[in-house]
Structure 1
Amino acid sequence: MSTPRPPQQDRATATRARVIEAAYACLLDGGYAATTVGAVQQRAGVARGTLLHHFPTRATLMAAVVDDLADRRISVLDGDPPAESGWDGVVDLVWRDLQSPAFAAALELWVASRTDPELRAALAPVQRRVFTSIRRAITAFVGEDDPRVPTLAQFTVDLLTGTALSRVVDPGADVSVVIDRWKRTLAVLSSGDAVSSGIHRPSLP
């Protein structure tokens, strides 16, 4: 007795997911320039016509990858909570996201978007979605009643992102000192003694 084939819609969904996964792997292995339609097609093991049916252009494929990367990063943020509590936990959580393969792939797209307006337009709303998730994860740790939280959260994201980027050039760089110093700095900035520091409440982008 033959095994019944899955419905056409399920097959199409599986094919689309396989193509996106292949594009993600291409980004990690070779960067944006190497993530061509042909390379993705070969890696996914699908016919060119099949790939083009789902993604008629490289731009539509990259737009789907951008959404997929956001989902991957959000799953990291929504995963097991860090062992530390308070702002120390916030630092550990944000750093965990920045060390994930999904961030490495997203970085490839960030750099490429500087000279690719279409890619940049696809990235902007998704990046806002990621920041919304980061903000939600941070307030889960430290609450949102303190008016300093949005500013300290933004400082944390920006400082740790810059620290992560420095390791692109020097993968062996020891950044543990920077992370430890920022945890100690946050302890001061978020303490009751810092209430008069003039930190206000801007919104994360």
Structure 2
Amino acid sequence: MSERPRRTQAERTAATRARLIDAAYDCLLETGYAATTVGAVQERAGVARGTLLHHFPTRASLMVGVVEDIADRRLAVLASPDAPPTGQGWDAVVDLLWRDLQSPAFLAALELWVAARTDEPLREALVPLQERLFAAIHRAVTALVGDDPRAPTLVQFTIDLLTGTTMAGMLGPGRARTAVVVERWKDALVTLAGERR
């Protein structure tokens, strides 16, 4: 039986950093931004305080790491094998964006968006990553519908409508209502894009 090769320092550092980010991400999902303190993340990750502070000297730096991770998680939804193939039309666009907005990564991002309203360092970290995410969404959507000059506007309308619908459905028993809104928006997009369904 051969021994596993010993991990390098860089591998151990990366693993600890990932564990801390995962712990912070889980805290955001389960208890929200206010309760995602350095102490809570340290406890959940099972590391010494000095270890956490070595990787993330401030809560803001920890949240920046989480923001980057969330952007990567959401981009993975867009690039997953479940993503529709190119040329599938607007129904596929709505389904793809809706799947992203139902993911835990979106809920964690939502926690950070709200906090960023009054947290300047968090906002500064969130804005460029959000721009990167939206650029990736627009590229993914363009691949689905082709190079339609209406696509940027229709994509933005779709993102805004589905985001609002997701948020409205979070606080009440609105699952059936949100499904109706999604289907109605698919019908509206067909009209707006001048296509047949």
TM over 0.5, shorter chain: yes
Tell me the alpha carbon deviations over residues 134-177 of structure 1, each in whole angstroms, 9 at most, x when there is no partner.
10110110012x21111111110110010011012215442111
Q: CA RMSD in A?
A: 1.8
Q: Report how many aligned residue pairs link the two structures.
A: 192
Structure 1 stretches of 5 or more lacking a match?
194-205
Distance in 2 separating the partners of 1:130 and 1:4? 37
Equivalence for 1:46: 47
Equivalence for 2:101: 98
Equivalence for 1:16: 17
Matched, 1:141 2:144: yes
Equivalence for 2:131: 128
Q: Is the alpha carbon distance of 1:6 and 1:180 closer, same or farther for their aligned partners in structure 2, counting shifts above 3 Å?
A: same
Identity %: 64
Equivalence for 1:182: 185
Q: Which amino acid in structure 1 is aligned with residue 161 of structure 2? A: L
Equivalence for 1:151: 153
Distance in 2 separating the partners of 1:2 and 1:16? 25
Q: Which amino acid in structure 1 is aligned with residue 68 of structure 2? A: D
Distance in 1 separating the partners of 2:110 and 2:68? 14
Q: Is the alpha carbon distance of 1:121 and 1:171 closer, same or farther for their aligned partners in structure 2, counting shifts above 3 Å?
A: farther
Distance in 2 separating the partners of 1:172 and 1:152? 24
User: Of the candidates 93, 116, 121, which is equivalent to residue 118 of structure 1?
Assistant: 121
User: Of the candidates 88, 92, 96, which is equivalent to residue 89 of structure 1?
Assistant: 92
Q: Is the alpha carbon distance of 1:95 and 1:30 closer, same or farther for their aligned partners in structure 2, counting shifts above 3 Å?
A: same
TM-score, normalised via structure 2 length: 0.92
TM-score, normalised via structure 1 length: 0.89
Equivalence for 2:172: 170
